[in-house]
A and B are shown apart, each in its own frame.
Chain A
Amino acid sequence: MRMTTRDRLKTVSCLLAAVLAIAPASAWAETLQMSLQNHKFHPAEVAVPANQPLTIEITNLDATPAEFESKTLRVEKVVAAHAKISVQIRPLPPGRYRFFDDYNEDTTEGFLVVK
Chain B
Amino acid sequence: MLGALIIVFREVIEAGLIVGIVLAVTKGIHGRGRWITAGVAGGIAGAALLAIFADALANALAGVGQEIFNASVLGLAVCMLAWHNIWMARHGREMAAELRDAGLAVKNGSRSLAALAIVVGVAVLREGSEIVLFLYGLVISGGSSALGLLAGSALGLVLGCAVSALTFFGLVTIPPKHLFRVTTTLITFLAAGLAAQSVLFLQQAGLITQLQATAWDSSAILSDTSLFGRLLHTLIGYSDQPSQMQVLVYSVTLAAIFTLTKVLEPGKPCAATVAHKAA
Contacts and interface: CB of A to CB of B under 8 A. Distances in A.
A88 B58 contact: no
A79 B7 CA distance: 17
Contacts of B241: 71-72, 74
Contacts of A74: 200, 203-204, 241, 243
Given A74-B241, A85-B66, A103 B225 contact: no
A22 to B, nearest CB: 7
A39 B3 CA distance: 15
Among B201, B204, B240, chain A packs the most CB atoms within 10 A around the CB of: B204
B67 interface: yes
Interface string A62-94: 111111000110111111110101111011000
B145 interface: no
Contact of B63 (A19, A39, A86): A86
A4 interface: no
A106 B144 CA distance: 15
Interface in B203-253: 203-210, 212-213, 219, 224-225, 240-241, 243
Contact of B130 (A63, A67, A83): A67
A78 B207 contact: no
Interface residues of A, number: 35
Interface residues of B, number: 36
Interface in A34-61: 39, 53, 55
Contacts of B219: 71
B140 interface: yes
Contacts of B170: none
B105 to A, nearest CB: 32
Nearest to B206: A88
Contacts of B67: 77
Contacts of B205: 87-88
A19 to B, nearest CB: 7
Among A53, A62, A83, A87, chain B packs the most CB atoms within 10 A around the CB of: A87
A3 interface: no
Contacts of A106: 3
Contacts of B55: 80-81, 83
A79 B63 CA distance: 11
Contacts of B51: 65
Given A78-B58, A83-B58, A65 B209 contact: no
Interface in B154-211: 200-201, 203-210
A77 B213 contact: no
A62 B138 CA distance: 12
A84 to B, nearest CB: 8
A115 B231 CA distance: 35
B195 to A, nearest CB: 15
Contacts of A90: 203, 209, 212-213, 243
A91 B212 contact: yes
Given A53-B209, A74-B200, A79-B58, 14 more contacts: A64-B137, A64-B138, A67-B133, A71-B225, A74-B203, A74-B243, A76-B201, A76-B204, A78-B54, A83-B59, A85-B66, A88-B204, A88-B205, A88-B206
